[in-house]
């Protein structure tokens, strides 16, 4: 959010704002699989420390930049090492406990991420309004520093590494796995969840700025979205015990699509907050369940490759979504962007409608 608002503040066009946001994922979509293989070899500790240090450096660069152009360096660096950190943490979380613990572990991890994304926009909006953009970026960079002493002083216990028994090597193996229909379906849902989150992070600040909302109010709308995510993920253990995974995904996507459909029709701050909460409920449920579906459909000896491939697809969406959304927004306005996303979501819901029926 801070990068988007800063670029708008610097009077960059929607297309240029889209390019800046796209650069976050454009490079990292090519580095995710190599980084995943490095994590497999080196373990998670060193990659996570390097990733934290580089994210701090990119935040400092954004803070001292006086124009939009340094953001084209800060955003790719942050994107590469954010992906590296996420791959390492997902690998680590998957190793805690046994297979029966994995769903709850990922739900707990997603709650932590959701809490951070709830606080982040709120803190960023307040910092921008009251301290300025440079101070806001420095404040956010400080949060990236926290893992360094925690990991470096060995305050975090890393579980034992899984046995390495790869049946094939090389990048193409990951793409060949997508021939498996259950895995492919789960990948589409997971990638769409990432892409939709990118649209929310990119388009809601632009839409809010266009209708005259302050940075604080935009931050509160984004925090409301994240609050919905946190609320539904807190209820996930109950939901996953009561309902099957695919029906949960389809209901979550339908809720999210409805939110995208109605958002451009209102400029009311209160209604935007309510809509953001509803959208957060949808995407907050879809994301972790899709992750569980991918783990269930993955070959046991290729879990790390699956995580890296998912990150590659997520980063591709992160690169392309701002470009497409910025271009469409510049040409047609923000409404068609939201409605195009609505159409894609309901297209996927329709394609998975048979999964609502109980398995034979």
Q: SS3 sequence, 279-335?
A: HHHHHHHHHHHHHHHHHHHCCHHHHHHHHHHHHHHHHHHHHHHHHHHHHHHHHHCHH
To the nearest whole number, what is the mean pLDDT of the chain?
Answer: 81
227 contacts 280 by C-beta, under 8 angstroms = yes
Q: What is the pLDDT of residue 103?
A: 66
Pair of tokens at residue 21: 């946001």
> DSSP code of 352?
T
The predicted model scores a pTM of 0.72
Mean pLDDT of 219-238: 86
Mean pLDDT of 308-323: 73
Closest CA to 35 of 14, 20, 50, 24: 50
Confidence of residue 162 (pLDDT cuts 50, 70, 90): low
Residue 169 has pLDDT above 50, yes or no: no
Residue 56 has pLDDT above 70, yes or no: yes
Pair of tokens at residue 159: 């579980």
Residue 271 has pLDDT above 70, yes or no: yes
pLDDT per residue over 3-26, tens digit each? 777 887 787 777 788 788 777 777
CA–CA separation, 257 vs 287, rounded Å? 14
Q: What is the pLDDT of residue 183?
A: 82
The dihedral sign for the CA sequence 217, 221, 224, 226: negative
CA–CA separation, 1 vs 43, rounded Å? 32
Q: What is the pLDDT of residue 173?
A: 55
**Cα atoms in the 13 Å half-sphere on the side-chain side of 350:** 6
pLDDT per residue over 325-347, tens digit each? 777 777 777 788 888 888 989 99
Confidence of residue 112 (pLDDT cuts 50, 70, 90): confident
Domain parsing of the chain, residue ranges: 2-150+174-356
44 contacts 143 by C-beta, under 8 angstroms = no
The dihedral sign for the CA sequence 205, 326, 342, 351: negative
Cite the DSSP H helix spans in 211-302. Answer: 215-234, 236-242, 245-262, 269-297
CA–CA separation, 220 vs 126, rounded Å? 9
Q: What is the pLDDT of residue 172?
A: 41
Residue 49 has pLDDT above 90, yes or no: yes
Q: Which helix (H) or strand (E) holds 185?
A: helix 181-210
CA–CA separation, 348 vs 342, rounded Å? 10
Closest CA to 103 of 295, 282, 244, 298: 295
pLDDT per residue over 345-355, tens digit each? 999 888 888 88
Q: What is the pLDDT of residue 171?
A: 39
Fold of 2-150+174-356: Growth Hormone; Chain: A; (1.20.1250)
Mean pLDDT of 321-328: 73
CA–CA separation, 87 vs 140, rounded Å? 21
pLDDT per residue over 114-154, tens digit each? 777 677 778 888 888 888 888 888 888 888 899 999 998 98
CA–CA separation, 217 vs 228, rounded Å? 17
């Amino acid at each position: 959010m801070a990068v988007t608002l800063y670029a708008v503040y610097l009077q960059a066009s929607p297309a240029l704002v889209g390019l800046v946001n796209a650069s976050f994922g454009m490079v990292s979509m090519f580095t995710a699989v190599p980084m995943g293989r490095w994590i497999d070899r080196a373990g998670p500790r060193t990659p996570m420390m390097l990733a934290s240090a580089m994210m701090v450096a990119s935040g400092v660069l954004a803070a001292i930049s006086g124009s939009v152009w340094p953001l084209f360096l800060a955003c790719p660096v942050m994107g590469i090492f954010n992906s590296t950190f996420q791959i390492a943490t997902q690998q680590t979380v998957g190793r805690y406990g046994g297979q029966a613990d994995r769903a709850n572990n990922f739900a707990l991890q997603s709650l932590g991420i959701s809490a951070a994304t709830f606080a982040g926009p709120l803190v960023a909006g307040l910092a921008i309004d009251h301290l300025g953009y440079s101070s806001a970026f420095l404040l956010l960079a400080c949060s990236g520093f926290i893992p360094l002493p925690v990991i470096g002083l060995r305050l975090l216990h890393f579980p034992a590494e899984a046995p390495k028994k790869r049946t094939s090597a090389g990048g193409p193996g990951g793409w060949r796995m997508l021939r498996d229909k259950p895995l492919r379906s789960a990948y589409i849902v997971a990638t769409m969840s990432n892409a939709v989150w990118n649209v929310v992070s990119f388009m809601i600040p632009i839409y809010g700025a266009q209708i005259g909302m302050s940075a604080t109010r935009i931050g509160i709308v984004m925090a409301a979205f994240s609050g919905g995510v946190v609320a539904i993920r807190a209820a996930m253990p109950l939901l996953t015990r009561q309902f099957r995974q695919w029906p949960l995904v389809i209901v979550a996507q339908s809720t999210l699509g409805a939110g995208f459909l109605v958002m451009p029709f209102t400029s009311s701050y209160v209604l935007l907050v309510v809509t953001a909460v509803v959208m957060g409920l949808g995407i907050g449920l879809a994301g972790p369940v899709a992750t569980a579906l991918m783990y269930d459909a993955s070959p046991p000896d290729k879990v790390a490759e699956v995580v890296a491939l998912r990150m590659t697809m997520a980063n591709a969406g992160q690169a392309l979504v701002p470009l497409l959304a910025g271009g469409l927004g510049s040409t047609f306005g923000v409404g068609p962007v939201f409605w195009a996303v609505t159409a894609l979501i309901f297209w996927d819901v329709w394609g998975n409608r048979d999964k609502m029926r109980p398995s034979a």
